Amino acid sequence: MPDADVVIVGAGAGGLAAAWRLTTQGARVTLLEAGRRYEPTRDYPQTDDDFELRPFPYNAAVDDEGEPRYGYGPAQEVEPALAAYRSWNRAQGALAPGNTRRYAQYAHVRGVGGSTLHFQGEAHRYHPDSLRMRSLFGVGVDWPISYAELERYYDLAEHAIGVAAPADNRFRPRSSVPVLPPHPLSYASMRLVPAFATLGATLIPNALAILPTAYNGRPPCNYCNACTSGCPLGDKGSADVTFLPTALATGRLDLRTQAQALQVETDPHGQAAAVVYRDAGGAHQRVTARYVLLAGGAVETPRLLLLSTSARFPNGLANGSRQVGEHLTESLFWLSVALLPDRVDSYRGLPIDGAAWDFAVPARIANGCVGGFRLSSAHGAAGLRGPAAYAERLVPGFGAAHQRHLAAVFGHAVALLALGDWLPNRRTRVDLDPSLKDSAGIPLARITSHLGDNERQLLQRMADTTRALCTAAGAQVVEETSALDLFSTAHVLGTCRMGDDPAQSVADADGFSHEVPNLAFADGAVVPSSGSGDSPMLTITALALRTADRLIARSQSRAAP
């Protein structure tokens, strides 16, 4: 008898959603999480005076010993012709000097709740066309499931999490009424609405997993704008406050923290049989289960599969077609910070409170470029949370002149974010680093990111539109951050993508491995396309819930005589 019905690796958005769905339907689940469990009121620093200097208490770049958590592949050269689209700010100059793209970080959190612990609450539904990029535009791949099928699970996820969204976003049509009404725009964002109108766009409230009113025993938001440092109130729908309590209450969830999965073992029939992990004390443990559900994210999940080699799976588990780790996509980003003539105090509110979806429908743009992008008011996301950010980044120089200048512009800054499509390309991928290893000597994942022609063209369009918005708002640009010379992403997807063709995908339409029938996925690794400016949390959650349902169905059909 196995230790559990299902062992899940990773307690992020997908892993916890799946654990909730499975345990509430009677399954016994063991959940392995490499990080620790955070205590919001103790661990999150928003009450401290130096809150601006203290991000979420997890360093995504290096471990406790100062060693890197990931390897990075070759850095792409930045074309001199695109110098106008590089990252800079007024006080510090070039943010990524040199002639190559700089790997800043894969922004994520290891811990119970995963990256939802520091995410900014965005809960987006993909545009239906993003699921048919190959059919409509001849790029990327089509999803193996329909939008209607996905939407059922969007609804389920929104109810479980508590999503506040506008009901009338015609660029993201929906057949159900949102669970909660949207948050009104902040004063700073309202100030930008006319500028959007000059471009034919409409800034509307963003769809957010942040509560405007009490919901399921959680309190409403008090608009502190500090979601990225962790939410001490519990109004932000991080997976540790949405799915975990109910799953634990069933008594069928065995949560093991600081448990780093090392290998998925298989039985003589090629079925996943157990997961070997390293516990907090460094000892190797083994947990057996009827099903293994991988939910470590689009970087760690392929790492685990590639590490799980055996005579039967010499290239790594589920990697017969050598698709594991390929097709990594990110969100293409451009961020402008600009100073308005008047004070708006944009440190108040929600990190990304408004969105304009007018350009966020995938389309064929000029010069063969395909994609779309969403524009947002993103003052908190840009880190405009207090005086230190202004003093360090936005006001040049020093001394009394700096002091006077700062006093004149503090509270005037707004930030505009553009997020766009990233088409899969052969050079953007995850594999095992040939030399970097973790503290136990296990090879680290290596991320290689490369902007294709499509991304470079789309990025210019995003930048030009954002700059035009700043001009229309009468705002002076003082900082620009660009994917052109910086790799910095939280939205990693596609490294074990689902599809109908086993030669081109790792998972089937249900999220199960083509090769290993009792191995499934519940994270961003299975998502085949980046979306046109959509944050992926809701899509990852919806697919994880759907895979959990499929797992229950398969389990029942297997058990049936």
From CA 145, how far away is CA 345, in angstroms rounded?
44
Residues 6+ away with beta carbon under 8 Å from 422? 329, 330, 331, 332, 428, 455, 530
SS3 string, 215-241, reads: ECCECCCCCECCHHHCCCCCCECCHHH
- Among 112, 130, 122, smallest CA distance to 58 is for 112
Q: Which of residues 184-203 bind another protein (CB under 8 A)?
A: 184-187, 190
Residue 3 burial by CB count (10 A; 0-12/13-18/19+): exposed, middle or buried? middle
From CA 281, how far away is CA 439, in angstroms rounded?
13
Q: Which of residues 229-268 bind another protein (CB under 8 A)?
A: 229, 232-233
Instruction: Decide if residue 75 touches another protein (CB under 8 A).
Output: yes
Q: Supply the minimum distance, in Å, between the C-beta of residue 349 and another protein.
A: 4
Nearer to another protein, 283 or 311 (CB): 283
Residue of 4, 17, 123, 226 that binds another protein (CB under 8 A): 226
Q: Supply the minimum distance, in Å, between the C-beta of residue 88 and another protein.
A: 13
Nearer to another protein, 47 or 367 (CB): 47
Q: What are phi and psi of 298, to 5 degrees?
A: -75, 0
How many residues bind another protein (CB under 8 A)? The answer is 65
Q: Supply the minimum distance, in Å, between the C-beta of residue 488 and another protein.
A: 15
Dihedral sign, Cα of residue 79, residue 80, residue 85, residue 86: positive
Which one of 77-85, 407-415, 417-425, 502-510 is the stretch in contact with another protein (CB under 8 A)? 407-415
> Could you give the count of Cα atoms lying within 13 Å of 165 in the half-sphere of its Cβ?
27
Q: Supply the minimum distance, in Å, between the C-beta of residue 417 and another protein.
A: 18
Which one of 15-23, 60-68, 204-212, 458-466 is the stretch in contact with another protein (CB under 8 A)? 60-68
> Given the structure tokens 């015609």, which residue do they identify?
170
From CA 395, how far away is CA 427, in angstroms rounded?
38
Residue of 37, 402, 467, 554 that binds another protein (CB under 8 A): 402
Name 277's bridge partners.
Answer: 261, 285
Instruction: Decide if residue 214 touches another protein (CB under 8 A).
Output: no
Residue of 222, 311, 366, 559 that binds another protein (CB under 8 A): 222
Nearer to another protein, 34 or 551 (CB): 34
- Residue 187: enclosing H or E segment and its boundaries? helix 187-190
For residue 485, give both structure tokens: 């010379």
Nearer to another protein, 52 or 300 (CB): 52
For residue 206, give both structure tokens: 């963003």
Q: Supply the minimum distance, in Å, between the C-beta of residue 203 and another protein.
A: 14
Instruction: Decide if residue 284 touches another protein (CB under 8 A).
Output: no
Nearer to another protein, 327 or 412 (CB): 412
Residue of 68, 270, 502, 517 that binds another protein (CB under 8 A): 68
Q: What is the secondary structure of 322-360 as a DSSP string?
A: S-TT-S-B--EEEEEEEE-SS---TTSB-TT-EEE-TT-
Q: Which of residues 341-380 bind another protein (CB under 8 A)?
A: 343-345, 347-350
Residues 6+ away with beta carbon under 8 Å from 27? 5, 6, 252, 551, 552, 555
Which one of 304-312, 390-398, 471-479, 532-540 is the stretch in contact with another protein (CB under 8 A)? 390-398
Residues 6+ away with beta carbon under 8 Å from 324? 302, 305, 306, 315, 316, 318, 495, 496, 506
Instruction: Decide if residue 224 touches another protein (CB under 8 A).
Output: yes
Residues 6+ away with beta carbon under 8 Å from 48? 54
Q: Supply the minimum distance, in Å, between the C-beta of residue 438 and another protein.
A: 7
The interface mask with another protein, positions 35-54, x = CB under 8 A, is: -----------xxxxxxxx-
Longest dimension (CA), the chain: 82
Q: Supply the minimum distance, in Å, between the C-beta of residue 433 and another protein.
A: 8
**Do 71 and 433 form a contact (C-beta atoms < 8 A)?**
yes
Nearer to another protein, 67 or 77 (CB): 67
Q: Supply the minimum distance, in Å, between the C-beta of residue 206 and another protein.
A: 14
- Residue 199: enclosing H or E segment and its boundaries? none
For residue 40, give both structure tokens: 């919001």
Residue of 168, 268, 367, 435 that binds another protein (CB under 8 A): 435
Instruction: Decide if residue 221 touches another protein (CB under 8 A).
Output: yes
Nearer to another protein, 185 or 519 (CB): 185
- Residue 554: enclosing H or E segment and its boundaries? helix 537-559
Residues 6+ away with beta carbon under 8 Å from 128? 147, 173
Q: Supply the minimum distance, in Å, between the C-beta of residue 69 and another protein.
A: 11
Instruction: Decide if residue 411 touches another protein (CB under 8 A).
Output: yes
Q: Which of residues 91-120 bind another protein (CB under 8 A)?
A: 92, 97-98, 102
Instruction: Decide if residue 137 touches another protein (CB under 8 A).
Output: no
Instruction: Decide if residue 407 touches another protein (CB under 8 A).
Output: yes
Nearer to another protein, 187 or 453 (CB): 187
Which one of 109-117, 262-270, 305-313, 434-442 is the stretch in contact with another protein (CB under 8 A)? 434-442
For another protein, the binding residues (CB under 8 A) are: 46-53, 64-65, 67-68, 71, 75, 92, 97-98, 102, 184-187, 190, 221-226, 229, 232-233, 280-281, 343-345, 347-350, 385-388, 390-392, 397-400, 402-403, 406-407, 410-411, 433, 435-439, 441
